[in-house]
Amino acid sequence: MAMDIRHSYLVSIFWPRLRRNRLALFGGSVVLALFLISLLAPLISPYDPSAINAWKVLSPPSWQHWFGTDELGRDVLSRVLYGSRVSLKVGFVAVGIAVSIGTVVGLVSGYYSGLVDATLMRAVDVMLCFPSFFLILAIITFLEPSIWYIMMVIGLTGWMGVARLVRAETLSIREMDYILAARCIGCSNARIIFRHILPNAVSPVLVSATLGIAGAILTESALSFLGIGVQPPTPSWGNILTSGKDYIEFAWWLSLFPGLSILVTVLAYNLLGEGIRDALDPRVKS
């Protein structure tokens, strides 16, 4: 019955609302296009992103190299295409870790309340006292630069907002009649939490995850730009920008195209996340 109700809600309310939001549809289209580009990068890249060509050093955009070449003669378009794979991988994995931790903490905190709730929420408050980016910088400094460490650190430092959102939803849902009915027929706490509460508290998680991917991509790009993120020769938008800053006066394309890639990607995820939030908001008229 619950699954039928949720399916009916998606068909009759959520999708029509989302379709009417043109900005959200634009963001979703860009997100889908970026996903396909990252998936097909080996097939659509015109050159090997690591191939060095001493005769084409810092060549401006042309028919042979649409985005120009870098200081080693590597094709910037190919490196941007391959960099999308790194950025999206970091975004999805890091947000997956953050959402998983935050959802479990929020569910347990909201359902049990009392001492459990107080302890977990104080832990959240302590984590929120530290500026996230500087906390990530401090941790990464002591670790070997690696894309896997970056994904883990971003995920482990970004779950607090999700935990608060899920806790708030859980506090409301646990007072519903169907939760009382589940207790009366002897359902275990774990079954109530994951079978009855979680599916109905997933809306803020979905919105937070969509917006979180944009934040994770920005964080990875900033770390790579500072030289403690993804290390060359592996291309990422951040380290392409790093190489471009030394030649900004006469090789503008090295900074323009990866910068635009970051801008468009983050904007698309933010537009999609805002659209999903509006479509799921019961206060918005259908």
pLDDT surpassing 60 at residue 191 = yes
- 71 Rama class: left (phi>0) / alpha (psi -120 to 50) / beta: alpha
Task: Give the model confidence (pLDDT) of 196-235 as tens digits.
Answer: 888 888 878 888 888 888 888 888 888 888 877 777 778 8
**Domain residue limits at 103:** 2-280
What is the number of structural domains in the chain?
1
| Average pLDDT taken over every residue of the chain | 83
Among 167, 26, 158, smallest CA distance to 93 is for 158
**Quick one: pLDDT at residue 230?**
79
CATH of the domain at 225: 1.10.3720.10
Residue 155 lies in a domain: yes
**Quick one: pLDDT at residue 264?**
92
- Tell me which of 163 and 15 has the higher pLDDT: 163
Task: Give the model confidence (pLDDT) of 251-281 as tens digits.
Answer: 888 889 999 999 999 999 999 888 888 777 6
In the three-class reduction of DSSP (H, G, I as helix; E, B as strand; rest coil), residue 75 is classed as strand
Residue 285 lies in a domain: no
Residue 104 lies in a domain: yes
Strand boundaries in the chain, DSSP class E: none
Residue 286 lies in a domain: no
- Alpha helices (runs of H) in the chain, residue ranges in sequence order: 2-9, 15-20, 22-44, 76-112, 114-128, 132-141, 147-156, 160-173, 177-184, 189-191, 202-225, 237-245, 253-280
Residue 45 lies in a domain: yes
Return the CA Rg of the chain. 22
